[in-house]
Chain A
């Protein structure tokens, strides 16, 4: 497989005015030349092959969107090189843009006041999609989602889920080689999320489109991506298979214990945290469940269980392998 996306030592710095406090400070700022440099993306390199779906993860403000904006050519890196299908994103813009699709989760690229079909027709003309390809794509869309009721509905009357679905369909309409999806499932209900995941994987399979997906939803990652890239504070933390990540954290188990809500109070959770801190056990509580992420190399699950049982009565229990979400959370906070 050829390399579709190549990033080499990409760094992006922003100059930001140092703002001062208060009214006096605001007046000072009017004439201030006091800039500081913020490094949003720091020396990121990766290569992605045609047809891959890559999950691009990181906490808020990690530099995900900045990277996406550089890959789409809206931002120019301070240093480093980006090649997408052998083309530099910020050169020969019109040609470049014909070959990419973009969805920014909270914004729509559709014509707000018009029915969806009009937006599709507009995109058909703007991207100069041949009639035959356009018809084929619409037919294909009809086999994966029920778009007929959406086609004649004005975009502004759509629910968030319907709109996101439409936006994703629109971004694939001109058969681009690469599609960037920036938090596509944000704010959607479970059923809609699963619809959208099916849609993305169906199109990816049929068209072999490369998809770069940023998200905070591990469900998206588990359902779609075999490979993930994790970034935090602009630096790349991880770039490999999800399976590999799970192997690294293979000795981790999540122990969930159910107890009455009276016993599961804040004081109790705090005392648990203190007790297990030396063993690196992550403690959190939700509803009636106390969940403990245990590294079996440091302490056995059974020992944790017996220690908890000393102070409360456990009504029910579950032991699970660590979920991707918890793996990521651990990487954010502790690194690999």
Chain B
């Protein structure tokens, strides 16, 4: 237990740090509402221009629920690790993190995991409840919620690993902005967070299915929207996520080991 304590204490500090910046939190909630309004009217226009109420097997309602929840998930699992790594590299603060008696990858994860918990309560949960009220219970309340929690943990691990790999690239490039923007666009597009995967044209959908990104958003979302699923029903998705979580973790650990030499061998 004492071994785990240092991780939770880092997480706790992250939450406390975030809570000191109250205004930033309110602005985030507000920004979230504005974004969702835009999404609503955009897709409304798309569906109104279509001759049928069902497009690519999805109704307007199911599309909106999907996208709103995707945004809510984004808000709470995104740790902005790449920005953090980039800032730490540029300012040289990374030196101080490297002298901690803890792997950098672990240290960083727990240092920035605090916001996941706060964001869950201040953005995801309210959005979830709002969706339930507006759609008259479109999200089933059953076993899917439990499986969703497992699924979201995999998603967090995969998302963090992707960020950590991109952070490693920053060690070579010494700049973050362009790389991070590209990463965000690629992840959000191929994960189905901006456009549901059902809307993808055939070749693009095939690519998306081979990439790890859909395990971040599409995976947990499809489980969440299932009506009281059995274990056999969610197993393929969870197995796919577990596979990517393992692969991406290993890749990120390995890649970091190689790229950290950029500091240790060539100087910061």
Contacts and interface: CB of A to CB of B under 8 A. Distances in A.
A106 B106 CA distance: 25
A332 interface: no
Nearest to A167: B96
Interface stretch (A1-9, A69-77, A224-232, A301-309): A69-77
Given A74-B95, A107-B93, A118 B264 contact: no
A268 interface: no
B99 interface: yes
A73 B95 CA distance: 10
A14 B266 contact: yes
A310 B100 CA distance: 64
A75 B101 contact: no
B44 interface: no
A26 interface: no
Given A66-B267, A154-B20, A121 B9 contact: yes
B263 A75 contact: yes
A128 interface: yes
A74 B99 contact: yes
A143 B85 CA distance: 39
Contacts of A94: 101-103
B92 A107 contact: yes
B100 A114 contact: no
Interface in B78-119: 91-93, 95-96, 98-103
A130 to B, nearest CB: 10
A40 B265 CA distance: 12
B17 interface: yes
Interface stretch (A97-105, A193-201, A236-244, A270-278): A97-105
A108 B268 CA distance: 17
A15 interface: yes
B85 to A, nearest CB: 16
A274 B182 CA distance: 63
Nearest to A115: B16
Contacts of A121: 9
B20 A95 contact: no
A211 to B, nearest CB: 16
A30 interface: no
Given A107-B93, A122-B10, A125-B5, A74 B16 contact: no
Contact of A74 (B21, B98, B102, B266): B98
B96 A109 contact: yes
B90 to A, nearest CB: 13
B9 A114 contact: no
A97 B96 CA distance: 11
Given A94-B101, A111-B17, A102 B265 contact: no
Contact of B20 (A14, A102, A113, A127): A113
B95 A118 contact: no
A126 interface: yes
Band of interface residues on B: 20 to 34
Given A69-B95, A94-B101, A125-B5, A74 B13 contact: no
**B contact face: mostly helix, strand, loop, or mixed:** helix
A35 to B, nearest CB: 10
Contact of B96 (A76, A95, A102, A154): A102
Interface residues of A, number: 34
A90 interface: yes
Interface in B179-226: none
Nearest to B264: A76
Contacts of A40: 267
Contacts of A104: 95-96
Given A104-B95, A104-B96, A107-B92, A74 B20 contact: no
A28 B201 CA distance: 41
B100 to A, nearest CB: 6
A101 to B, nearest CB: 9
A100 B267 CA distance: 21
Contacts of B101: 93-98, 126-127
B136 interface: no
Q: Which of B5, B9, B98, B101 has the most CB of A within 10 A?
A: B101
Contacts of A112: 17
B63 to A, nearest CB: 40
A76 B99 contact: no
Contacts of A125: 5-6, 9-10
B13 A111 contact: yes
Nearest to A100: B99
Contacts of B267: 14, 40, 66, 75
Nearest to B7: A125
A23 to B, nearest CB: 18
B2 interface: yes
B95 A113 contact: no
Given A111-B13, A114-B13, A97 B99 contact: yes
Interface of A: 14-15, 40, 66, 69, 72-76, 90, 93-98, 100, 102, 104, 107, 109, 111-114, 118, 121-122, 125-128, 154
Given A69-B95, A72-B99, A125-B9, 5 more contacts: A75-B264, A93-B103, A100-B99, A104-B95, A126-B6
9 contacts: A74-B98, A74-B99, A95-B101, A96-B101, A97-B102, A100-B99, A118-B16, A126-B101, A127-B101
Q: Which A-B residue pairs are the 7 nearest by beta carbons?
A: A125-B9, A97-B101, A113-B17, A98-B101, A125-B6, A94-B101, A109-B96
